[in-house]
Structure 1
Amino acid sequence: MGSGARTCAERSRTGTTTGRGRTARRALVAVLLAATAVGLTPSAAGAAPRNPSDAELGAAQQARADAAARVGQIGAELAQARTHVEELHQQALIALQDYEDKQAAHDAARAAADAAAAAAVQAAADLQQGRDDVASFARASYMQGSTSPGITALLSAAGPAELIERSALLDAAGVNRVEVVAELTVLEQQAATAEQVARQATEQAAAVQQEAAALLASAQSQEVEARRQADALDAREDGLQAELQQAQQVLDGLEGARTAAQEAAARQAAAPAPPRTPARPVATPSAPTPNAPTPVRPTGGTAGAPSTSAAETAIAAARSQLGVPYSWGGGGSNGPSNGIPPDSQLFGFDCSGLTQYAYARAGIAIGGTSRDQWWLNRNKQVAIGDLQPGDLLFWGGDRSDYMSITHVAIYIGGGQMIEAPDRGQHVTIARARTSSSTYFGAVRPSAR
C-alpha cells in the first residue's frame, strides 16, 4: 500500500460506481422487448392487424400496474438499504485511517525497540570489558605481590624507607581494587537495565502491531461487505426495473396493435379514422427521500495568501494523474501504488494518496490520511468564498469532529476540483461539492 492517506468516500450524489453496468443492461432489455413488441404491430405487407381483446389489454394493464406497485413498494426499502451500505462504507474508511495511524505508531515503536536492543548489546559488551579489566587487575596484583597479606609485605621490608614505600603501594592497590569492583557493579546494573528496556520495547511494538492488524482486518471486512451489499442492491433494482419495463413494452405493443387495427377497419369502412390513442407513459415510482439536512458550512478562514508556485506545482502534479484508477489504500508521496485488499491488485490512488502526492511534488508534506491533512493544516482554514487554486477540500460525517473526515480533493478554481473519487472510477476533474451537507471545510497548505 502507499504511504499516504487511504480514504475517500464522498461521492457525487448523482450515481454510484456499483451501477456502472446498469445502463447498458437496461438498454439491452429495452431493445429486446421493443423487438418483441413490434411483433404485435401489423406488418408492412399485408394482412389486417389483429385487434387485441379487452381481456388481453386488461391483463397487460394489470401486469404493468403490478410491476409499478412492486417498484414503489421496494423503493423505500432500497433507499434504506443503500443508506446502510453507505454507512458501512464510511465506517470502513474510518477504520482504514485508524489502521494507518496505528501502523505509524508501530513503526515508531519498532524503531525504539531496535534502538533499545542496540543499547543492550553495547551494555553487554561494556560489561564483558569490565569483567576482563577486573581479571587483568587481579593477575597484575598477584604478579606484583599486592595480593599477599599486608603484614607480610611490611615485615619483609629491608628498612624504614622500603617499609614506607610498601605501605603506600598496599594502600593504592586497595583503592584501585575498590574502584574496579565498583565500576563492574555499575556495568552489570546498566546491562540488566538495558536488556529490560529492550524487552519491554519489543513487547510494546508487537502489541501495537497486533492492534494495527486487527484494525486493518476490520476495515477490509467492512469494505468488502459494503461492496457486496451495494452490488446486490443494484442487481435487485435492475431486476425490478426490467420487469416494469417489460410490462410497459407489452402494454404499449397491445395498445399500438389495437389502434392500428381500428384505423385499418375504419379505412376499410370508408369512414373517418378514429384518432390514434398514444401509448400511455408510465411513471416509475421513486423511493421517498427524507428531507436533506441543512448543509453545514465552515465559518471564516485563518489562512494567509497562497504560494502561487507551490499551488500551481501541486495542481500540475494532480493533473498528471488524471485517468489513474482509484485504489483503496493506494498511492502516496512517491506516486500511485497497489492498494490493500480488496484492491491489492489495483495500481492507483485513493483520495488522500493523490493529494499527498500532489503536494509532495511541491515540497510540502501534508500528512498521510485525509484527516491528518486537515489536522496538520487546521490553522490555515479557508472560507468557501475565499477558495483559491491549490486549497484542499474535505468532506466528513460530523462537522464538529475532524476524525469523521473521509474524503479530500484539491481545488483548481472555477468551482472545480481534482479527486480520486471511489472504486471503479479514476482520478478526474469534478464539480467542487462545497454545498453538500457533508462538506467539512478547506485548508491552504501553501499559505506562507
Structure 2
Amino acid sequence: MASHRRPKQPSRTRVTVLTTAAAAAVALSSQAANAAPSEKPSKDEVKSKVDKLYEEAEKATEKYNGAKEKQDKLEKQIGTLQDNVARGQEELNTLRDGLGSLATAQYRSGGIDPSVQLFLSSDPDDFLDQASTLDQLSGQQVEALKKIQEKQRSLAQQREEASAKLKDLADTRTELGKKKKEVQGKLAEAQKLLNTLTAKEKAALDAEQARASRTSERSALDTGGKSASGRAGAAYSAAQTKLGSPYVYGATGPSSFDCSGLTSWAYAQAGVSIPRTSQEQANAGTRIYSQSDLQVGDLVIFYDDQHHVGLYAGNGQVIHAPRTGTVVRYESIGNMPFQFGVRI
C-alpha cells in the first residue's frame, strides 16, 4: 500500500537564514561590480606628496642638526670640566700634603695643636668660621687652610656643573635619536611613494629637475658670478665647486651636504665661521628683506620657520642643497617661500 505522507517542509528559520545570506551575497556582488577600481596616483600627485614629505624631513633635519651641535658642545664642555676637576683634585691633595708637612714640623718642635689634627682629618669649613680656632693657628697654617677651603668650594661647583651638563647631554642624545628616527621615517615614506612610479615616470621627473637646474644655472651665470667679491664672493665660489654633490641629511662636506651644511662649509672656505643650522644662520648677520638688495654670496632664508638656506647666485637664483634625492644645484629663488637674506 502506497504511503500518503506529505514531504517534510524546510523550517522557517532555515529559509530565512538562506534568504538573508543570498541577499547579502547579491549586495556584495553588486557593490563590487559598481565600485571604481583603485586608481594609481599620477606622477604629479606622487611628486606633490614626495615634495611635502621631503620638506617635513628637512625641518626635522635642521632640528637634528641643532641637537647634534648641542651634543658636540656639551661633550667638549664636560670634557673640559672633568679635566679641571681632576687637576683641581690634584692641587687640593698637594695643599693637604703641605698642611700635613706643617703639622709634622710643629709636632717635632713641641707638639701638634688639636685643632690642626681636626683640620687634617675633616672638612675645614666649620673651623675656618671660628675665630677662636684661627687664633690658635700660625699665619702660614691659616693661609694653607683658606686655600684648601677655596679649592674645595671650586671643586664642588665644578662637579655640580658637570653633573648638570651630563644630564643635559643625556636629554640631548634622546632628542637626537628621535629626530633621526623622524627624518628616516619621512624619507622611507617618500621612497615608498617613488617606488610606485614606473621607470619612465621616474626618468621624466629627473629630466624635469635637470632642465630646471640648467635654466637656473644659465640665468645665474649670466650676471651673478661676475659680481661675486669679498668673503661672500669667496663662499659662493666655494659652493660652485660642489655643484653635483649629493644631498645627505646631517652632512657638512666635503663630498655631501644638507642645506645648512653647504652654506656653513662654503663660508668656512672663505675663512668665516657661521653657525651650523639654518635657524641660527638666519641671525648670523645683517638681514636683507628686499630681493633686489641681495648680493652674490648672501645667505637666503626660506620658509616661515627658516628651515632652509642657500647662497644667492644673482639674477634671482640661489645655489643650494635642496633635499634627499637631489644634488647641489642652482634654482630660482621664487620656487620656495623667500623670507629674507643675511649678509655675513
TM-score range, shorter chain: 0.5 to 0.7
CA contact (8 A) 1:393 1:409 kept: yes
Amino acid at match of 2:284: L
Compute the displacement of 1:435 (Å).
6.0
Compute the displacement of 1:360 (Å).
1.9
- Which residue number corresponds to residue 433 of structure 1? 333
- Which residue number corresponds to residue 372 of structure 1? 280
Please point out which of 312, 337, 351 is paired with 2:259: 351
- Which residue number corresponds to residue 67 of structure 2? 102
Please point out which of 272, 286, 292 is paired with 1:385: 292
State, as a whole percentage, how many aligned pairs show the same letter: 26
Counterpart CA distance in 1 for 2:69 and 2:267 is 20
CA contact (8 A) 2:278 2:308 kept: yes
- Which residue number corresponds to residue 121 of structure 1? 86
Amino acid at match of 1:230: A
- Which residue number corresponds to residue 302 of structure 1? none
- Report whether the alignment pairs 1:330 with 2:231: no
Counterpart CA distance in 2 for 1:441 and 1:368 is 18
Amino acid at match of 2:342: V
Please point out which of 396, 415, 420 is paired with 2:321: 420
Instruction: Mark the structure with the bigger radius of gyration.
Output: 1
Q: Kindly tell me: are residues 434 and 391 of structure 1, through their superposed partners in 2, closer, same or farther at Cα, counting changes over 3 Å?
A: farther
Please point out which of 62, 80, 98 is paired with 1:133: 98
1:8-56 residue CA offsets vs partner (Å, 9 max, x unmatched): xxxxxxxxxxxxxxxxxxxxxxxxxxxxxxxxxxxxxxxxxxxxxxxxx
- Which residue number corresponds to residue 205 of structure 1? 165
CA contact (8 A) 2:288 2:294 kept: no
CA contact (8 A) 1:103 1:209 kept: no
Counterpart CA distance in 2 for 1:224 and 1:146 is 74
- Which residue number corresponds to residue 175 of structure 2? 215
Higher relative contact order structure (alpha carbons within 8 Å, sequence separation ≥ 6) = 1
Q: Kindly tell me: are residues 392 and 94 of structure 1, through their superposed partners in 2, closer, same or farther at Cα, counting changes over 3 Å?
A: same
Compute the displacement of 1:355 (Å).
1.5
Compute the displacement of 1:117 (Å).
3.1
CA contact (8 A) 1:350 1:421 kept: yes
Counterpart CA distance in 2 for 1:135 and 1:388 is 69
Counterpart CA distance in 1 for 2:338 and 2:183 is 22
Please point out which of 386, 405, 410 is paired with 2:311: 410
- Report whether the alignment pairs 1:444 with 2:343: yes
CA contact (8 A) 1:314 1:359 kept: yes
Report SS of the residue matched to 1:434: helix
Amino acid at match of 1:444: R
- Report whether the alignment pairs 1:224 with 2:184: yes
Counterpart CA distance in 2 for 1:122 and 1:364 is 34
- Which residue number corresponds to residue 234 of structure 1? 194
CA contact (8 A) 2:236 2:266 kept: yes
Q: Which runs of 5+ in 1 are unaligned?
A: 1-65, 149-173, 242-305, 337-346, 399-403
Compute the displacement of 1:383 (Å).
0.6
- Report whether the alignment pairs 1:321 with 2:228: no
Counterpart CA distance in 2 for 1:134 and 1:220 is 54
- Report whether the alignment pairs 1:310 with 2:310: no
Amino acid at match of 1:355: T
1:365-392 residue CA offsets vs partner (Å, 9 max, x unmatched): 2321112111112x33141122222222
CA contact (8 A) 1:325 1:427 kept: yes
- Report whether the alignment pairs 1:179 with 2:179: no
- Which residue number corresponds to residue 93 of structure 1? 58
- Which residue number corresponds to residue 34 of structure 1? none
TM-score, normalising length: structure 1: 0.50
Compute the displacement of 1:412 (Å).
1.6
1:258-308 residue CA offsets vs partner (Å, 9 max, x unmatched): xxxxxxxxxxxxxxxxxxxxxxxxxxxxxxxxxxxxxxxxxxxxxxxx982
- Which residue number corresponds to residue 222 of structure 2? none
TM-score, normalising length: structure 2: 0.64
Q: Kindly tell me: are residues 210 and 140 of structure 1, through their superposed partners in 2, closer, same or farther at Cα, counting changes over 3 Å?
A: closer
Q: How many residues align?
A: 264
Runs of 4+ residues deviating >6 angstroms = none
Compute the displacement of 1:326 (Å).
1.4
Compute the displacement of 1:330 (Å).
0.9
- Which residue number corresponds to residue 16 of structure 2? none
Amino acid at match of 1:198: Q
